[in-house]
Amino acid sequence: MSTPDYVTYHDEEWGRPVHGDDALFERLSLEAFQSGLSWITILRRRPGFRAAFAGFKIAEVAEFTDTDRERLLADPGIIRNRAKIDATLANARELAGWAPGDLDALIWSHAPDPAGRPAPRTLADVPAVTPESTALAKALKKRGLRFVGPTTAYALMQACGLVNDHVEACVTRSAPQGARGTAQPATTNPRPPTAP
């Protein structure tokens, strides 16, 4: 973790509770785009993603047309992966039909009890998939969302504060505590030794 933007993301955002359907749609979409890539690649392009996808406002992205899709496929400010772009657009259309707060409620209903999760001592102790992330991925897919496998679901859970995977010695480990389950704007967070 050598770049300042990565350190800032870790220290100020990663692992902090995120609520709100649009904020969670953004995180879910970015985690899907990250699949197979490094997080720093996505982080550095996040302003481009936000501009290209109307700030990840579900209602607006759901209205994107074929012209918008072609614009996205040609946009050098984002990852121009056809399958990931199509999944993001399809997910927005699906989510536009959900009641307000449904995405937030569904995601947070899969947060494990923090009392049963000891602090990881090293990054080797941090899982890539858990039973909760597998259940979350299954629930999201059942509701019609795409590109949401168990690994992507777990990365979302880590980034949005459903789990606290800051290692035991991490200076920001205690920062996410106490804010669990309360509505907060998406910000920037904690520094894992090598994660997020």
pLDDT for the residue 53 = 98
Is residue 31 a contact partner of residue 150, using CB atoms and an 8 Å limit?
no
pLDDT for the residue 54 = 98
Q: Tokens representing 114? A: 């923090």
Catalytic residue among 39, 108, 132, 154: 39
* Cα distance between residue 61 and residue 104, in whole Å: 18
Q: Tokens representing 3? A: 């770049």
pLDDT for the residue 95 = 98
Is residue 170 a known part of a binding site? yes
70 is catalytic: no
Catalytic residue among 6, 14, 26, 31: 31
pLDDT for the residue 175 = 64
Catalytic residue among 6, 9, 14, 154: 9
What does pLDDT average to in each consecutive run of 10 residues of the chain (196 residues)?
Answer: 81 92 98 95 97 98 98 98 98 98 98 82 85 97 97 95 86 60 37 38
Q: Which domains does the chain have, with CATH numbers?
A: 10-113+121-160 (1.10.340.30)
Is residue 108 a contact partner of residue 181, using CB atoms and an 8 Å limit?
yes
* Cα distance between residue 171 and residue 137, in whole Å: 30
* Cα distance between residue 20 and residue 186, in whole Å: 9
* Cα distance between residue 52 and residue 54, in whole Å: 6
